[in-house]
């Protein structure tokens, strides 16, 4: 699977998206568990800019901009959206979800952020979760649950080697025994 590239916006289109984002006062992360809000934001953006970007691409763009410190922060003006993990799924389901996430993440060598931006991974996670539990949960809810688990420190971190990354040795004996 290849890495997803972020959409490109000209300055006028970017300004429209930023204005819509600021007007709605909903931080970026809650959009993944609120697909209707994301669709509303995307529909408004597309109508005003005469574009046809899908919601996933808009969310990916905002996240990419935020990671590059090029996206406005809402701070204390952000709308408060409280949803506990238990409101999303049961404890047993969250354990199944974590197992599915680890299996898929290790197979494709992709971490939590990749799931948020690569629809193929989310479809695979959705299918794997359905097969394991026997009931359907929308991918946005699965991603929201993964995010809550990660932020609470309850999601195992995938130790993924980055391309070109070398193993660090504690001493010369370790390096010699390679």
Task: Give the model's confidence band at 39: pLDDT under 50 very low, under 70 low, under 90 confident, else very high.
Answer: very high
Give residue 144's pLDDT. Answer: 82
Cα separation, 170 vs 172, in Å, equals 7
- For 77-120, the pLDDT digits (tens) are 888 776 666 766 888 999 999 999 999 999 998 887 788 888 89
Cα separation, 68 vs 9, in Å, equals 15
Percentage of the chain modeled with pLDDT above 70: 84
Domain ranges across the chain: 11-75, 85-151
- pTM of this structure: 0.51
Look up residue 121 and give its two tokens: 């991974």
- SS3 string, the chain, reads CCCCCCCCCCHHHHHHHHHHHHHHCCCCHHHHHCHHHHHHHHHHHHHHHCCCCCHHHHHHHHHHHHHCCCCCCCHHHCCCCCCCHHHHCCHHHHHHHHHHHHHHHHHHCCCHHHHHHCHHHHHHHHHHHHHHHCCCCCHHHHHHHHHHHHHCCCCCCCCCCCCCCCCCCCCHHHHHCC
Percentage of the chain modeled with pLDDT above 90: 49
């Amino acid at each position: 699977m290849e890495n997803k590239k972020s959409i490109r916006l000209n300055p006028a289109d970017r300004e429209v998206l930023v204005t819509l984002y600021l007007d709605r006062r909903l931080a970026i992360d809650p959009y993944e568990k609120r697909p209707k809000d994301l669709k509303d934001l995307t529909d408004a953006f597309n109508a005003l800019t005469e574009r046809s970007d899908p919601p996933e691409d808009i969310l990916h763009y905002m996240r990419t901009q935020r990671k590059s410190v090029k996206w406005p922060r809402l701070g204390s003006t952000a709308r408060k959206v409280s949803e506990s993990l238990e409101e999303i799924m049961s404890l047993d389901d969250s354990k199944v979800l974590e197992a599915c996430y680890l299996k898929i993440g290790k197979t494709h060598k992709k971490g939590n952020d990749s799931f948020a931006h690569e629809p193929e991974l989310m479809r695979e996670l959705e299918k794997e979760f359905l097969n394991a539990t026997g009931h359907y949960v929308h991918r946005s809810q699965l991603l929201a649950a993964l995010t809550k688990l990660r932020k609470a420190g309850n999601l195992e971190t995938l130790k993924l080697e980055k391309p070109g990354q070398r193993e660090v040795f504690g001493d010369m004996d370790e390096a010699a025994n390679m």
